[in-house]
Structures are given as C-alpha cells and as structure tokens.
Structure 1
Amino acid sequence: MDKVDILTRILKTENTSTILGGQSPASVINSRKYVPVTVDAQDDNLGFLDDAIRTVLCGETRTVVVVGPEGSGKTTALFKLVVDWANGECLQNFSHVFNFQFSKIGSSTDELSLETLIQQGQLQMPPNFTRLVTEEPDGVLFVFDGLDEFKHSLDPSSHTLTSDPYHLVSVSCLLASLLHGSLLKGAAFLVATRPTDGVKFLGGIRMDVLGFQKPQREVYFNNFFPDPTAASEAFLHMERTLGIYDFCASPRFCWTVCSIYKRLIDSCTKLSETLSQLFVDILVHLIQSLSLNKEHSRGLVLALGRMASHCLHYQHSSCSKHAIDSFGFEQSLTSVDGFLRVHGEGELSFHSKLMQEFVLAVAFFLDPSTHGDAEKMLDNHKGCSKFLDFFMSGLSEPVQYRLLEDLLGKFSSDQIKCFKSWFKSRSEKTLKKYNKSEHYRCFHLLHQAQNESLVKEILNPPAHPCIFHENLSLQDCAALNYVITCLGEREKLSMSRTAILREMMEVLAPSVSLSHTVILSNCSIHKDSIPLLASAVSMGVTTELELSHSNLGDEKLDILCAGLREAKLHGLNLNVCGLTAACCDNLAFLLTSGASHLQILQMMFNPIGDQGFAKLCEAMHSPNCRLQELQIQSCNLTAASMEAFASALCSGQSQLTKIDFKGNMAGDSGVEALCKALRQPLCKLQSLGLFDNGLTGACCSSLKEVFMSEHCSLSELDLSLNSLGQEGALLLCHGLKSPSCPIEILNLTRCDLTTAVFEELGSVLKNGTCQIKSLLLAINKVGDQGVKYLWDALAHPNCLLEELSVEMTKLTDACVEDLCAALRASHTLKLLELRNNSLTDAAVPAIVQVMKEKQNMKELNLKYNDFSEDALQMLDTCHNIRY
C-alpha cells in the first residue's frame, strides 16, 4: 500500500468522536498524545502492545493475533503501527502494508481475488503490482481489524483453499487461503479482534490486550486536561471511585470519563461517586446534546431500553435496521448516533455494553408495563448482563435519578417500591446463607445505592456483628468498606486468602480503623500496603491484629513494627509468618515503646531460635514492656533460651503470666534453669506449656521443688508428650501434695505413666489441700485398674476436679460400675473425656441412666468406642453425651 495513500487515508479521515464511541484513531495519532496500551504476550510477560508487535514481526513469526475487549485500544494501536511504517519509523522489513477492516470486506457478496482485494485498499495500483507482491511475499504485511465482526468461517476445512492470486473466490475462502498460507505463502498477518471463536482458526502468537494500567491512565488524564490541577483531581477521583473496575483499563472508557469529568469540573459540579451516578451524568449529557423535548427524550430512552433488552436476552451484539423498527424509534432514529454505531451489513449496536445495560435499567423505572417486576426483569436477562442490578440499585435512589426525571419525566414510584422490596427481601435471605459471592453482590448493590439507612436496615448490627471474607478483589473491598463505614464501629473484620495490594489497603483503611479485631490470616500482604495497614490500626479502635499464615517475613514485619509504635494494640498474632531472629530487634523495640499496650504476642512456627528469643527476653526487662502472654511454640528454642527467659522472669519488671514453649527442645537442663526462676518471689508466671520439649524424669525433681515453694505462682502446667516415666511422675505427685502447691490445671497426656502413678494421683486428689480442677491423662495405657484410683478420687468429697481426660487409656466395660458410682458421688465434675477406649453396648444403659441424673454435667465424650447403631440411638436421648 502506498505510504502517502496510507497517511492520507488514516490521518486525514474525518471521524467524529462520540462520548461513548471514544476518540477516533486519527485524532489520537494527530494529537501526538498517544498512550500505548499494555499487553500480555506470552508467559505472562507484560509490555506495550506496539513494542511487542514490532519485536515479533521483525522476527520469524508471520502471524500475530491481538485479542482484547471493546475499547481496549486495538484499532488505534494498529493504525499507529501502520502510520509509523508509512513514516519510516518501524517495520521497515516490509515493503508493502495493507490495512483492512473485516466489517467492510466481510459485507461484500461478490467473489474476489487477491488482486481485487488489494485494489480495494489502494487509491492507485502501479503496473505489475500484484506480480511484485507475489514474488516477494515475505515483504508483505496484511493488517486486519475486527475479526469478531466477520460473519463467515475461516475454518480451512470448510473451504477449497486457493493459491492463485487471480482466482475469484468468496471473501471467506480468500481470507482463509491467505491466513492459512495457501495463498501468498510467506506473507505476515496482524489480526485484531474482540474475544471470538474465530481466533481458534488462526495460528501464530496471541497477544491479550489489557488496556491502560494505572500509570498509563495517569498519563492519559494528564494529556487530556490542560490544567494539571484538574488532571490530578479527575485522575484521583476516578481511581477512588471507578478504578476498582476492569473496564477502567479501556482507553475508550477513559475518554468517556475524562469528557464527562471535564464538563462537570468546568461547571463546578460535584463528580459522580458511583458507576450509576457516572452513567446518569453521561445520559444527561447525551440527551441534552440532542435538544429533544421531554416526550421525545423519554421515547428515545424507552426505545433504546427495548433494543437493549432484545440484544441481551437473545445474546445478539447487534440488530438489523429491520429489527430496530419494532423498538419504537420512529421519531428519534436520527438521534441515536450518540448511543449506537453502524457496522457490518448495515447493523446497529451499542457503542458501550455498559450503556446498553444502563438504559435498560432506566427503562425499567420509566415503563412498568414492558419490563414487569424486578425479579422478572433480572431473570429475563440472567447470565447475559453483568451490571444491570448495579444500575437498578443506583437508580432506585432519588439522589441519583432526580437529574433524569428533569429530562425524561417521572420514574414509576411503584417500580421503585417493587425493586426496594425485592432487594431488601433478597438481601436478608442472602446474608443468612453465607454464600460468599452472593454476599459480595449484596454489598456491591448497597454501594451503588449510597443509602446509609438502607445498609443499617439490611445489615442489622446485632444480627451481623462480624463479616468474614476471603479472596476479595479490589471491587469487593470497595463495596465491603462502604458497608462497614455505614455500620460504624464493629467487633471484628476478618479476611483470608486475599492478596492485599496497596490499592486494596487504601480502600479498606477506614474499615480497619473501625474494627476492634482485624484478622488477615492466610493473606498475602504486599510490602507497599504494610504502612497503610499500620496507620489504619494506629488511628482507629483496633486492639487485636491477627496476621497468621501471612508469610510476612522479616522485612515487612520491620515496616509494620515501625508503624505500630503508637498503636493501642493489646494482641498481635504473627503465627507462621516466616520470621527469623533478624526481626526480633524491631519486635523488642515495639514491646518496649513507651506507648506500647501489647499484652499478647503469638509467634508460633517462626524459626527465630535462641538468638531471636533472647532479644524478646531482653525486652521483658524493660518497665515499658506490658507483655502478659507469649505463644512461642515450635520456634527452634533450646535450653539456652530457658536461661535468658529465667533471667527476665526474675528481673522484677516482667509482667508475663503465660508462656507456651510447645514443640521446642528445652530439655531437662533448660527446665532446671527455669525452675530456679519459678521459685523466686518476683516471678509472676502462672501458666507454662512444655508440650513435647524432650523432657525426662530427670527434670521432675526441680519441678517438685517449684510445687513446694512458698513463692510459686504457677497454676497451669502442660508436660504432655514427654517421657517422664513412673519415677519422675511420682516425684511430681510428691510436690503436688504440698499444701502450698497452686496447680489447678495439669496436663500429663502421653507421659509414660503407670498404674502406680495413677494410684498416687488419686491420693493427691483426695488429700484435702490439692487445688487441681483439670487433669488430663490421655494416652497413658493403664487400663481399668489404673483409672479405678481416679474413680475412687472423684467420689471423695475433697476432690475438686471439674475436668478429667482418660482418653485412650484402655478402658473396658469392667470399669462402668466404678465410673457410674464416681459420677453420682462427684459434685464438681463437669467434663469427662472417654474417647478412644473399648466400651461396648453393655456399658450404655448404665451410663445413660447416670448422665440423665447428672444435669450439672456439661459433657461426657464417648466418641470412638465400640458402639452399635442401637447403642448410639440410646446415647442420643441424653443431651450431655457426645458420641
């Protein structure tokens, strides 16, 4: 194609811009303010579309297929490439470039040859031009735009392909022959299309157009508005209110938004706050520009609504002029250019699918006779509309539809009442079902309505104290934040399995500040969002922050700690966050900050080791440290940590009352060092967890001395999963008999205990000074004979036990008589754990009988015993038996 011809045809084409149709490619290129769109080529490599096409077509690839939604910038990008070629700026490896629109060549019913096709694209054809092209096909590039508008098949199997450039064939056969290499083999092809099935018949490289990312949108707005202040105001407003939607990546949509925002800014009118309000402003502008009276304006919108309904319901992208006659355009067909475009074989379609759905929503409120009630309306268009309910929700509120009433006449009050009644009823049902996607949709509709009282009416705070969410998008965050800010201060905000980017945290910050407990478990929190999270927590009412399984890592935690120094946090959960000793300096600084309120720190499954824990222990020496509870399970600690911790407990400054070392390796020597501190008067520790710490009976002598110390404040001790054995456990029992022993909760699950130990424990429980209320002895297989000593103790008036676990201790039906006697005699027992034993149906009648008598018993757990279905039915008659 002649280069001068190209520049004439493309750059000097008069193509009037429309507010919905976007700026013409010629005006974009001529303005020299062209902003390239982003493309995802292959292997998730993002870049600019122009650069990606140039790179590929300068190599060995001969076909590039550009796929993107309406208004994503495909056509303008293709025009720009062709113009740049004609100006000698790119793709100079091609001698000839031919640019075609599928909509134009596809409308031809005549048979064509390659020669006649090329002639259609040329103002003048030089002699022997076709021969020159066919002799050097690798220097030829065909650019085809709008494959989705081509109504014929390009499937090579449905055509007899030709290789003769002078052979007359159908348009579809000619194009199939070209694109599949039968005709002019070696030529290159650049094809642009909206998503369509026709793409599957094309080879080469596919490039998916993503449109404008946020930085490109900012450049676009700066180019559009001459005034930098107006540009900044417009851009920031769009990002806050509309940037949550995917279609904001569309250059065409950005043109529409800029055009409307400029009009509103120039008239000193407030910018629209929702998608519905934006389209109200667009429709008002379009109607006013037509200078129609109210009756004709109403008729035009109703006709557009009928067309929109038809296209959506039957999933047609366009309508023939013949079909349009039935929609009632008689007096306004000349006024539809702003809404509709002509293409293909004289067919009409909406410039914007969003406007298509919006005018349908407007028509619903203008004409009850055509569209029926809200449920019928939405059912008729279910699966083919995406934002219809959004627009209906927005248009049901006077603040949004009042401007339209001035131009179109009154909205139907019955339709508004009908929609609100349906919406309220549907929302109340939805919120009871805990269907995540339906919850989100409800919040989106409330967001569009912008009615705070409606939010409070539907989400009655007592009925919905917490809102739990996962896998949120930016759009979901905006809707959720609106709902929460309407409801005000709340107990809990919980999100999980969400990648929290900076934009999302910007949106959610008000909700975080309003929530006493913020749970972001199993979330991937982006580094840039951490300062915003910390700020929101510090400025609000948040006292509990849970970030477990968020894979923070040391770097992000350091940023978080710096931002939380003025926070009012009482609890911080950092379980399984990938932390090491490197982060503990900043954690210690947070604990010792003069403004620190932190009382509970959870650090489970973070390999901070002895070095990291030592820094936390140093913090406990500070009078500013208010830490009372520390969960430090499975953090790679050894006996060395016990020395540092013991020093902190005896410092006189430590406020710590509870610590859990589960899954570490304190060992006997570590516990011995710790026991020295537990006997000191300055030690305030009340709860100590040593589950699975590699302990043996060798540490029990030191623990016995702790129990007998007059200064011991320990009331809860967990020694589970340690090989204490008979000798060590008997030493513990000796200490437990001390009148000053304060132990109330003792866990000795799977500690290799024997019948002799159970006998001694029974004696402890009856001695009159024992304070034990909870005794857990599971997985010590002493059988009926060993547990009999506990049944005897339960029957004794001195026994204070409220909870007893003898799960998996090899109990049989032989124990039932003693068990029932103990239950009848005990005045304190509330919970009894008998799971995983060998009780059978024979034991059931007696147990059921006694449990019906013992109404003060909260629970007897008999799961995983040897019961038949008949026995289970009998157990079901007793409300306080679990089976």
Structure 2
Amino acid sequence: MYNSQEIVSISNRNIPSLITLPAELVYSILDNLDMLTILISFCNVCKRLKNITNTYHRYKTFTILNLTHHRINEQEFECLVNTLQNNKTLIEIHLRCNKIDNQKTKSLTDVLKTNTILTTLVLSNNTISTDGAQYLANLLNNNKTLKELDLGWNQITSEGIRYIADALNNNHTLTILNLQINNLGNQGTQYLTNALENNRTLMTLILSNNCIDYEGAQYLANMLCKNKTLTTLILSDNRIGSQGVKYLANALYNNKTLTKLHLRLNRINSDGAKYLADALHNNNTLTELHLGWNDIGNQGVQYLSNALYNNHTLHILHLQYNKIDCIGAQYIADALQKNTTLRELYLACNKIKNQGAQYLLNILKNNQTLTTINIQSNKIDFHEIQYLIDILEKQRIQF
C-alpha cells in the first residue's frame, strides 16, 4: 500500500511537463497562441522551448511586431527585450504610445546595437528626452541595418538632437528620420543640418511642429545647397513665414534631388508664394509641393500659376485653406490649359464658389493629365453645374 504522499509523487511523475513535451505537441500548442504571447512569454520559459519556438513555422515568418497603443507593462517590456537579444526574424518593431521613457530606451537600444535584422523602429508618442536621444544615437553609431527611425511626438530638445546629429555624421544606413512634434527649435535644426551637409544616406526628414522659424529655414536651405541625397523634407506646422520660404526657394534653384516639400501651416503669404514660383521656373526635380493652411490668396496663386506654364515636373500641388476665390481659380485653370504634368490639385476649403468650379471643371475636358481635383467645401452649388460634372469623369473630381 502507498501512503498519500507517495501517491501524489507517483501522480506527478505521470503528468507530462510543457518543457518535456515532444516538439510536435509544442507546435500544436503554439498553433493556438497569438504571436505576441509566443514572443513575449513562451520564448522566455526555458532554452528548450526557445529552440523549439525558433523552428516553429509562424515564428520563422514573424517579421513585424506592432504594439501600437498596447501600453506594454514593465514585465512584458522586460520579456520583449530578452527575446530581442536572439531574435532573427523581426525587421519592424512598432512601439508607438507605450510610455517608453529614457530607461526603457536604454534597455531596448542596448540589445539592438548588435542586431543585424531590424530595419524599422517606431518609438513615437512616448516620453523620450535628452538621455533617451543619447542612447538612440549610440544605437545609430553601432547598428548597421536600421533604415527608419520614428521619434515623433516625444520630448527631445536641441540638446538631445545634438547626439543624434553627431551620429548621422557616421551612420550610413538610416534613410528615414521622423522628429515631428518635439521641440528642436532653430538650434536643434542647425545641429541636424550641419550633419546632413555630408550625410549620404538620409532621404526623408520630417520636422513638422518643431518651433522652426526663418532662422531654422536658413539652416535648412544651406544644407539643401550641399546635400545630394535628401528627397523629402516635411516642415509643416512651423513658423517659417515668407522670409524663411525665400531661403528655401533660393536653395531650390541649385538643389537637384529634393522631390517633396511640405510647408503646410507656416504663415506664408503671397510674397512667399512668389519666391517659390520663381524657383519653380527653374527647378526640374520637385514633384510635390504642399502649401495648404497658409495665406497666399489670389495674388500668390497667380504667381504659382504663371510658374505652371513653364514647369514640367510638379505633379502634386496642395493649396487648401488659402483664401482663394474664383479669380484665383481662373488663374489656375488658365495655366492648366497648357500644363501637361500636374496630376493632383487640392483646393478644398477655399472660396472659389460656382464660378471658380466652372473654370476648373471646364479645363478637364481637354486636360488629360490631371487625375484628381479636390474642390470640397468651397461654397459650390453642384446642382447648378451638374451638366459639367455629368460630362466629365466623376472619379477625377472630389467634392
């Protein structure tokens, strides 16, 4: 006869343990778990389970980890960092809005320094500041595969951006850097532009909402005269003004690589539009220009329209919220009678009314290159011009 303790001992010996199950049964268990659980929990149980997981077919093809708004807790974050030390599949990690502070940034960057797989790291909407920026700069100095880094909406000031700028002097892999909604100011912009005068890999720079005024625009313009790789510059929601635009426009005379320039919400008036229009007469590379939410008015539109007569490269033009009425619409319509390269025109939230709409819709009869024209919220009575809309391809008109 067995006593009660012996019976329990024998029973326990007959219960299969997760860590001793055959690999095929472990695969069956993994089939019923989501990838986040496998990555954060299962991989950290023991070495045997980690090895089995590494051969699991879903894990081997798991390349993108998206934890946006997941609000990952301390334990989950620690497990994630431990897993990343040996992970050989993830090429993108998205940690937007996860309360990642400087210390977590250090833990993350420490394990990614030697990572040879990751190409995209998204850390926007967190609480990263100067120390965190320094840790990220160290990552850029060591990692040789990271191509996209998103640090938007953090707490990085000019002091922190100086570390990242220094790293860009030596980094040869990063192609996209998003720093929108921080507090770089003109000083931080200067640090960045000094680095980009010699950088040969960064192609997209996003600096929206960073308290940059005409002084910062001058630093950017000087950089554009020397940089040969940047193709996209996003400067929306700053304080550049027409004086700052003058610097940027002068740079466009000589720059041969920039294709997209966003200046939405930058206090630009008709003078600024004239500076850009003059540049467009000579520039042969810019394909997208965003001037929405400014104050260029009819006069500014006239300058830009005159440029469209001769410009053969601009494909997309944004002019939303610019106090443009039917007179400005006529300037654009006249230019589009001859321009054969503009494909998309955005005029939403102006005051072109029925008359302006007629000018623009009439040109669609002959202009076959304009594929999209947005005239939403322009005080237009479409019942009165229905005859025009009926004879046009409706998919070309957004209203």
Deviations 1:384-419 (A, max 9, x none): xxxxxxx9xx79x97399xxxxxxxxxxxxxxxxxx
Q: Does 1:747 align with 2:290?
A: yes
Give the distance between the partners of 1:508 and 1:540, measured in 2 at CA. 14
Structure 1 pair 284/610, CA: closer, same or farther in 2 (3 Å)? farther
Structure 1 pair 844/17, CA: closer, same or farther in 2 (3 Å)? farther
Give the distance between the partners of 1:846 and 1:485, measured in 2 at CA. 64
- TM-superposed deviation, 1:799: 3.2
Q: Does 1:590 align with 2:162?
A: no
Report the number of matched residues.
Answer: 383
Structure 1 pair 287/637, CA: closer, same or farther in 2 (3 Å)? same
Q: Does 1:606 align with 2:178?
A: no
User: Contact 2:214–2:239 at 8 Å: present in 1 too?
Assistant: yes
Structure 1 pair 858/489, CA: closer, same or farther in 2 (3 Å)? farther
Letter paired with 2:120: E
Letter paired with 1:287: S
User: Contact 1:500–1:526 at 8 Å: present in 2 too?
Assistant: no
Letter paired with 2:316: S
Letter paired with 1:790: I
Give the distance between the partners of 2:357 and 2:213, measured in 1 at CA. 44
Give the distance between the partners of 1:733 and 1:758, measured in 2 at CA. 9
Give the distance between the partners of 1:688 and 1:798, measured in 2 at CA. 20
Deviations 1:237-294 (A, max 9, x none): xxxxxxxxxxxxxxxxxxxxxxxxxxxxxxxxxxxxxxxxxxxxxx9844278xxxxx
Please give the secondary structure, in 2, of the residue aligned with 1:539.
coil
The aligned counterpart of 1:620 is 196
Please give the secondary structure, in 2, of the residue aligned with 1:616.
helix
Structure 1 pair 507/613, CA: closer, same or farther in 2 (3 Å)? same
Structure 1 pair 818/667, CA: closer, same or farther in 2 (3 Å)? closer
Q: Percent identity?
A: 20
Counterpart pick for 2:40 among 473, 477, 481: 477
The aligned counterpart of 1:784 is 326
The structure whose Rg is larger is 1
The aligned counterpart of 2:346 is 805
Letter paired with 1:829: L
- TM-superposed deviation, 1:655: 3.4
Letter paired with 2:22: V
The aligned counterpart of 1:253 is none
Give the distance between the partners of 2:22 and 2:288, measured in 1 at CA. 62
Structure 1 pair 843/542, CA: closer, same or farther in 2 (3 Å)? farther
Q: Does 1:492 align with 2:60?
A: no
Give the distance between the partners of 1:849 and 1:287, measured in 2 at CA. 81
The aligned counterpart of 1:145 is none
User: Contact 2:190–2:219 at 8 Å: present in 1 too?
Assistant: yes
Q: Does 1:287 align with 2:287?
A: no
Which has the higher relative contact order, 1 or 2, with Cα contacts under 8 A spaced 6 or more apart? 2
TM-score (norm 1): 0.38
Please give the secondary structure, in 1, of the residue aligned with 2:91.
strand
User: Contact 1:660–1:690 at 8 Å: present in 2 too?
Assistant: yes
Counterpart pick for 1:692 among 265, 279, 289: 265
Give the distance between the partners of 1:504 and 1:663, measured in 2 at CA. 38
Structure 1 pair 654/479, CA: closer, same or farther in 2 (3 Å)? same
Give the distance between the partners of 2:293 and 2:355, measured in 1 at CA. 23
Counterpart pick for 1:633 among 195, 205, 208: 208
Q: Does 1:552 align with 2:125?
A: no
Deviations 1:209-229 (A, max 9, x none): xxxxxxxxxxxxxxxxxxxxx
Structure 1 pair 18/557, CA: closer, same or farther in 2 (3 Å)? farther
Give the distance between the partners of 1:636 and 1:816, measured in 2 at CA. 36
- TM-superposed deviation, 1:525: 2.7
- TM-superposed deviation, 1:549: 0.8
Please give the secondary structure, in 1, of the residue aligned with 2:365.
helix
Give the distance between the partners of 1:816 and 1:667, measured in 2 at CA. 29
- TM-superposed deviation, 1:480: 8.7
Please give the secondary structure, in 2, of the residue aligned with 1:518.
strand
User: Contact 2:193–2:219 at 8 Å: present in 1 too?
Assistant: yes
Structure 1 pair 835/656, CA: closer, same or farther in 2 (3 Å)? same
The aligned counterpart of 1:565 is 141
Please give the secondary structure, in 1, of the residue aligned with 2:93.
strand
Structure 1 pair 770/485, CA: closer, same or farther in 2 (3 Å)? same
Give the distance between the partners of 1:562 and 1:811, measured in 2 at CA. 52
- TM alignment of 1:364-443, pairs within 5 A: 399=22
Q: Does 1:861 align with 2:395?
A: no
Letter paired with 1:493: L
User: Contact 2:273–2:303 at 8 Å: present in 1 too?
Assistant: no
Please give the secondary structure, in 2, of the residue aligned with 1:801.
coil
- TM-superposed deviation, 1:792: 4.3
Give the distance between the partners of 2:137 and 2:28, measured in 1 at CA. 35
User: Contact 2:246–2:272 at 8 Å: present in 1 too?
Assistant: no
Please give the secondary structure, in 1, of the residue aligned with 2:391.
helix
Letter paired with 1:478: S
Deviations 1:670-718 (A, max 9, x none): 444455544457x744443333344xxxxxxxxxxxxxxxxxxxxxxxx
- TM-superposed deviation, 1:566: 2.5
Letter paired with 1:752: D
User: Contact 1:816–1:847 at 8 Å: present in 2 too?
Assistant: no
Deviations 1:180-236 (A, max 9, x none): xxxxxxxxxxxxxxxxxxxxxxxxxxxxxxxxxxxxxxxxxxxxxxxxxxxxxxxxx
Structure 1 pair 776/509, CA: closer, same or farther in 2 (3 Å)? same
The CA RMSD over aligned residues, in Å, is 4.2
- TM-superposed deviation, 1:834: 1.6
Counterpart pick for 2:158 among 581, 592, 596: 581
Give the distance between the partners of 1:667 and 1:818, measured in 2 at CA. 30
- TM alignment of 1:345-360, pairs within 5 A: none
Deviations 1:723-768 (A, max 9, x none): x13x6545654554x3655543333334434445545655543x35
- TM-superposed deviation, 1:626: 2.7
Structure 1 pair 732/601, CA: closer, same or farther in 2 (3 Å)? closer
The aligned counterpart of 1:659 is 233
Give the distance between the partners of 2:92 and 2:325, measured in 1 at CA. 46
Structure 1 pair 740/749, CA: closer, same or farther in 2 (3 Å)? closer
Structure 1 pair 531/756, CA: closer, same or farther in 2 (3 Å)? closer
Q: Does 1:524 align with 2:147?
A: no
Give the distance between the partners of 1:18 and 1:663, measured in 2 at CA. 73
Give the distance between the partners of 1:671 and 1:785, measured in 2 at CA. 24
Structure 1 pair 754/606, CA: closer, same or farther in 2 (3 Å)? closer
- TM-superposed deviation, 1:570: 1.0
Counterpart pick for 1:842 among 367, 380, 383: 383
Give the distance between the partners of 1:537 and 1:494, measured in 2 at CA. 20
Give the distance between the partners of 1:784 and 1:669, measured in 2 at CA. 28
Structure 1 pair 845/644, CA: closer, same or farther in 2 (3 Å)? closer
The aligned counterpart of 1:89 is none
User: Contact 2:290–2:319 at 8 Å: present in 1 too?
Assistant: yes
- TM-superposed deviation, 1:814: 4.7
Please give the secondary structure, in 2, of the residue aligned with 1:450.
helix
Please give the secondary structure, in 2, of the residue aligned with 1:825.
coil
Structure 1 pair 775/632, CA: closer, same or farther in 2 (3 Å)? closer
Give the distance between the partners of 2:357 and 2:205, measured in 1 at CA. 41
Give the distance between the partners of 2:139 and 2:272, measured in 1 at CA. 48
Report the more deviating stretch, 609-618 or 664-673.
664-673
Please give the secondary structure, in 2, of the residue aligned with 1:451.
helix
Deviations 1:538-596 (A, max 9, x none): 42411111100121222233223324432211111111121122223321232123x53
Letter paired with 2:313: Q
Structure 1 pair 802/556, CA: closer, same or farther in 2 (3 Å)? same
Give the distance between the partners of 1:690 and 1:741, measured in 2 at CA. 19
- TM-superposed deviation, 1:505: 2.5
Q: Does 1:825 align with 2:366?
A: yes
Choose between structure 1 and 2: higher helix proportion: 1
User: Contact 1:600–1:627 at 8 Å: present in 2 too?
Assistant: yes
The aligned counterpart of 2:47 is none
